[in-house]
Chains A and B, each alone.
Chain A
Amino acid sequence: MTGLAATMVRAGRRLLSSLPALFGVLVFTFLLMRVLPGDPAVFFASGPNAGKEEIEQIRKQMGLDKSVPEQLVFYLSDIGRGNLGRSMMTGQPVLKDLRERLPASLELTFTALLIALIAAVPLGVVAALRPGSIVDHGVRLFCALGVCVPTFVSGLLLIYVFYYLLGLAPDPTGRIDVFTSQPPQRTGFLSIDFLLVGDVEGWWAACKQLILPAVSMALFVIAPLARITRASMLVSLGSDFVRTARSVGLSWRKVVVTYALRNAILPVITIAGIVFSTMLGANVLVEKVFSWPGVASYALDALLSSDYAPVQGFVLLMASVFVLVNLLVDICYGIADPRVSIG
């Protein structure tokens, strides 16, 4: 119990120490957006008759008529009150947009990571058990293919085969079939919300929508995960304690899974953490191809139209997620290897 409390205290301290970094990200993004060429007011005033007056009006509405330091002060005080501004693009408060879209991205990324881990860890272990064998080469080839094919290509390919040709997958338009009604929103994760109301049919519909995008994302990250598993398994299989375990005649399962894999899993967790944060922000293409209403495509659209508030909100969100994921990874370390403690 005291161990858990101590962990929580340390985690809290870690969280506090990341605040200056978050603040830096905030200010940096703010300035970066203003430095980028392109005047959002001109872009948004592009109706067939929008003239100078309209541009001025939008500028005022976005607060761009004030000086940059003034804007920064307003922005920071807004953030302090939990207001991330309003998106010109969707016309909604950024906080509301992000709150609606983050679960979509998280659900997709978690599923993709899960699929990737389930595929990558056994692949890496198998490859490490027989290095140089045909199995090892097979795994290497598979990984290389996964990395070579960009996610939007594999996404379009999967759509072509499973939706267009075979008709097995539902149409690739978002999280749920337009004709199915949404479950009451509790967690924002459709697969959980449907189960909470006991709607199995809806749950299955949501899962079907999730499979293709998750697989095309997973394909891309299987390679780093499998490679790191293999490398670290090789080290651990060659170490003294495994030799000892083998020599005393422990079962194959006990040697490989309990001793070798448990010791080899630390770097895999680290990489998984990094992969997760990258995937969350970088899966724009998958989100675009599958019309997935996630945060990454939202940020890209905002960036193209110089819509400041959503981009700033997105970067802040990503920074926070990164901090949290790192913390989580550290806690996982402690579970995997009791000698490691966060501090």
Chain B
Amino acid sequence: MRFVSVRPATHVLATIALLVASAPSQAQTRAETLRYVTGSSVNTLDPNIPGSTRESFALSMSTYDRLVAFGRKQLNGKWVFDLDKITGELAESYDVSPDGLKLTFRLRKDAKFQDGSPVTAEDVKWSLDRCVTAPILGKAQLLTGSLTSADQFKVIDPLTIEVTLPKPDKLALPNLATVYPMIINSKVAKEHATADDPWATAWLKEHTAGSGAYVIETFKPGEQVIIKRSEDWNRGSPGKPAFFKRVIVQSVPEPATRANLVERGDADIVVDLQASDVQSLEAKGKLKVISTPQYNSITFVSMNNQIPPFDNVNVRRAVAFALPYDDMFKAALFGRGAPLFGATWPDGKPLDGIYPFQAPVKIDLEKAREYLKAAGLPEGFSTTFSFNVGQSSTAEPMAALIKESLGKIGIKVDIQKLPDAQMSTQINEKKLPFFTEGIVAWLPSTDYFYRNFYTGNQRWNYSSINNPELAAIAQEARFEPDKAKYEEDGRKLNAIHFSEMPQIPLWQPNQDAVMASSVEGYTYEFHRQVDYRDVSRK
């Protein structure tokens, strides 16, 4: 018996010895490899394809270049993208004409596509034309920067391109730094275009033709993507390619497994762990945890302003004063985020003109009851509160707390958990009375938030608010060149928001990036994923 039990032990020892012996040669390449694990997956190599995931956005940042890119700044000691500092990427420099109607970009002379051919103004024009003409996602995005037609892009000479605007739109330039207007090798793409598909969308979905920092090595949709460094790329720091020689983007659906992987050092960086795991990993202190409030994203409790009883402003106010904010913040997010409640406004006016703003709401059941009385519903009413399955780890505890708290003022809440597709359908059809959702804006300026999320009969206007004054101010602010006036418009909008209470902004959840202690340079980007070009290993 004893003899038998020894054999597996020696076997294990032999395996360990083998592993140890082969370790040094592996370690060399391992240090130069970034392994990023995620619960989502890359589903297309062209982020413009409808249905593309956030991971596809992040990947395209590394495989393609844009004309310009966002700089970065420190916010409370953490690096975040800087909307106001726009630097050249493929453009060596750019000029904005004094009237703000002409943007001129001069391309870098040394920029080459991954097949070795130079990047020309023709390629830039073709790519931007594609973005505003083809039936792809870029069209709706560039529209927000007054970029709507191919006529606006003009080739001046092989290295100069000019963009004309109908109005001096502040968001035109930042829009060119977003995910969609990537610069494609037009010669290669045209070879794969067909009569039905003149912009080669089908081909670009599975192939890349860019000038980016990384080249696709293997692409397995839904599983993993491996990219390797393009040695000629020098758009990050002058004369240097990106740091990591290889990047592995791997889908690991189970959050607990992702936490294990990064804790054991098998994965280098992850940004989508559960709040509870982040907290315990942070407490152990072995890993680097960088938590940045996602200052371009907001979580709401939303009410449909067109459906009774939420069409009554006093009902909405009553709800706003009956939510257990602190408990929700702790239960759902473990306090990991920036709260948008509990402010004090000394003179009852907004403190500034920036959206999102911290509102002077807190739980005050007496006040809530008064508002209900004023609405003519002193006895309360019944309603349903909906959230989608994908958010259940945060929304479920929130819903239970809301139900309990609203019950105290007579509002009976049924909790409804909907599959993601069903939830988006119902929101689109404006059928949900009371629900929680989140929004993200790539270009977080006050007027952009108000125009996109508080006006029009469209999907993103969750609260279905229809306030002509708000819409008019937001529209006017868009083209307001004077900073002080813009700020004043912002204050007015925030004041309307607070008095109308169309929906209740709760908080901005943290992006918790958990990484090996050797990983440096992580920056919170507008697309909320890791930009692999930012990071390096010490």
Using a CB–CB cutoff of 8 Å, the interface residues on chain A facing chain B are: 36-40, 42-55, 57-58, 61, 88-92, 97, 100, 156, 159-160, 163-164, 167-168, 171-174, 178-179, 288-291, 293, 297-298, 301, 304-306
Shortest C-beta distance, B460 to chain A (Å), equals 8
Beta-carbon contact of A289 and B254 below 8 Å: yes
Contact with B425, one of A39, A289, A291 (Cβ below 8 angstroms): A39
A37, A160, A174, A291 interface centre (most CB from chain B within 10 Å): A291
For B218-238 the 0/1 string (1 means CB < 8 A from A) is 001111101000000000000
Distance in Å from the Cβ of A212 to the closest Cβ of chain B? 11
Q: Which of B43, B252, B424 contacts A89 (CB 8 A)?
A: B43
Q: Are the CB atoms of B422 and A291 closer together than 8 Å?
A: no
Complexed CA–CA distance, A50 and B389 (Å): 21
Q: Contact: A51 with B458, CB < 8 Å?
A: yes
Q: Give the CA-CA distance A53 to B220 in the complex, in Å.
A: 30
CB proximity to A under 8 Å, residues B304-354: none
Which residues does chain B contribute within 8 Å of A304, judged by CB atoms?
A: 389-390, 419-421
Q: Given the complex of chains A and B, what is the CA–CA distance between A91 and B204 in angstroms?
A: 12
Complex contact A90–B221 (CB within 8 A): yes
Contacts of A167 in B (CB 8 A): 264
Residues from chain B with a CB closer than 8 A to the CB of A173 are 37, 250, 252, 257, 261
Check A159 against B421 for contact (C-beta < 8 Å).
no
Confirm or deny: B469 has a beta carbon within 8 angstroms of a beta carbon on chain A: no
Chain B hits for A91, CB < 8 A: 43-44, 49, 51, 205-206, 221
CB–CB B425/A37 < 8 A: yes
Q: Which of A50, A90, A160 contacts B222, CB < 8 Å?
A: A90
Given A58-B50, A291-B257, the answer on whether A53 and B140 have CB atoms closer than 8 Å is yes
Q: For the complex, what is the distance from the CA of A58 to the CA of B140, rounded to whole Å?
A: 14
By CB atoms of chain B within 10 A, which of A44, A88, A288, A301 has the most?
A: A44
Closest residue on chain B to residue A163 by CB atoms: B260
B256 interface contact, C-beta 8 A: yes
> How far in angstroms is the closest Cβ of chain A from B34?
12
**Residue numbers in B under 8 Å from A293 (CB-CB):** 220, 222-223
Give me the interface of B with A, judged by CB distance under 8 Å: 12, 26, 29-30, 33, 35, 37, 41, 43-44, 49-52, 135, 137, 139-141, 143-144, 205-206, 220-224, 226, 248, 250-254, 256-257, 260-261, 263-264, 266-267, 389-390, 419-422, 424-426, 428, 440-442, 452, 458-459
Question: Quick check: B257 and A159 within 8 Å, CB to CB?
Answer: yes
Report Cα–Cα, A89/B420, bound state, in Å. 13
**Majority SS at the chain A contact face:** loop
| Complex Cα gap A201–B223 (Å) | 23
Also in contact, A97 and B222, with CB within 8 A (given A54-B137, A159-B260): yes
B264 touching A43 by the CB < 8 A rule? no
Q: How far is the CA of A48 from the CA of B33 in the complex (A)?
A: 31
| Whole-angstrom CA separation of A6 from B132 in the bound complex | 66
- Shortest distance from the beta carbon of B40 to any chain A beta carbon, whole Å: 10
Q: Which residue of B lies closest to A178 (CB)?
A: B248
Q: Is the CB of B425 within 8 A of A50?
A: no
A46, A297, A301, most chain B CB atoms within 10 A: A46
Known: A163-B260, A167-B264. A44 touches B51 (CB 8 A): yes
Contact B254 A48 (CB under 8 A): no
Interface contact B421-A306, CB-CB below 8 Å: yes
Q: Which 8 A-B pairs have the closest CB atoms?
A: A38-B421, A306-B421, A38-B422, A44-B51, A49-B140, A43-B421, A90-B221, A39-B425
With A38-B419, A39-B428 given, is the CB distance from A92 to B50 under 8 Å?
A: no
Assembly CA distance A293 to B222 (angstroms)? 8
A156 to B248, CA, bound (A): 24
Contacts of B12 in A (CB 8 A): 168
B425, A179: Cβ atoms closer than 8 Å: no
Instruction: Check A92–B221 contact: CB distance below 8 A.
Output: yes
Query: What is the bound-complex CA distance between A308 and B141, given in angstroms?
Result: 28
Contact A42 B424 (CB under 8 A): yes
Verify A164–B425 contact, CB threshold 8 A: no
Q: Which residues of A contact B266 (CB under 8 A)?
A: 171
- Min CB gap B317→A, angstroms: 30
Give B48 Cβ to nearest chain A Cβ, in Å.
9
11 contacts between A and B (CB under 8 A): A36-B422, A37-B422, A39-B425, A44-B51, A47-B50, A92-B221, A164-B264, A293-B222, A304-B389, A304-B421, A305-B420
Bound form: Cα–Cα A45–B425 in Å: 11
CB distance from A206 to the nearest CB of B (A): 15
Q: Are B222 and A42 in contact (CB under 8 A)?
A: no
Whether the Cβ atoms of A45 and B51 lie closer than 8 Å is yes
Cβ-defined partner of A291 (8 Å) among B26, B49, B252, B442: B252
